[in-house]
Amino acid sequence: MKPAAHLALQQRAREEQGEKRLAKKGASAGWTMTELLSKRLWSQLGMEREARITVDADGKCGVSGGLLCTPRDLVRLGRALSAGGRSQSGAQLIPESFLEDTMSPDEEARQRYSKADPYGLAYQNSFWILKGESKRHRPSLMAYGIHGQVLWVDPSAELVVVKLATSESPMDDQEYTQVMEALLAVRRALRSRDQPAEQNDALSGV
């Protein structure tokens, strides 16, 4: 298979050829990475479209990037992350223990994030962990890819934001700051919109 080719993650998982099979023990033993993603995740989230993932010259897919999918389907993945790893039907697709570990970074994970960054806390399990809106709110998590790609999940605000982009520079500090300020402004706007309803509920004893 040629470099920069793709394998599909099916809405309904099917056998894929050309990848080295996983050797881990358990129910998923012997599956390729694309089979694992297709059967255990993508096909269980009610996705509208197939996704694709880049592979190398040997047909092996990467696991730290290279996913191609629609924004709406990426939002569905974010909603599962926000819901403790569960699908809309309530099926546990992503282990809660993984998400709890991700949202509870240790000191080593905190050292991976620059102290000069006013937004972040740590880099844990391939997610950027961002500060909560206040001490009452848990941190949020973000997948921030090159050229401006963003998946932001804030469980406390029940908020999922997807941003696709083709920025000229793979990483740009000014763009990063602008993106973060825009995301935080969206969260503030949604929070202020919901506050009158919350206050009315409190006054009525709901």
Cα–Cα distance measured from residue 96 to residue 104, given in angstroms and rounded to the nearest whole number: 12
Residue ranges of the chain assigned to CATH 3.40.710.10:
70-206
**pLDDT, tens digit (0-9, with 9 covering 90-100), for 79-137:** 999 999 999 999 999 999 999 999 999 999 999 888 888 998 899 999 999 988 877 88
Which amino acid, residue 131?
Answer: K
pLDDT digits (tens, 9 = 90+) for 47-77: 999 999 888 888 888 777 888 899 999 999 9
CB 71 within 8 A of CB 162: yes
> What CATH architecture is 70-206?
3-Layer(aba) Sandwich (3.40)
**pTM, two decimal places:** 0.79
Name residues whose C-beta falls within 8 Å of residue 61's C-beta, 6 or more positions apart in sequence. Answer: 7, 19, 32, 33, 34, 53, 54, 55
Check whether 1 has a pLDDT greater than 50: no
Decide if pLDDT at 31 tops 60. yes
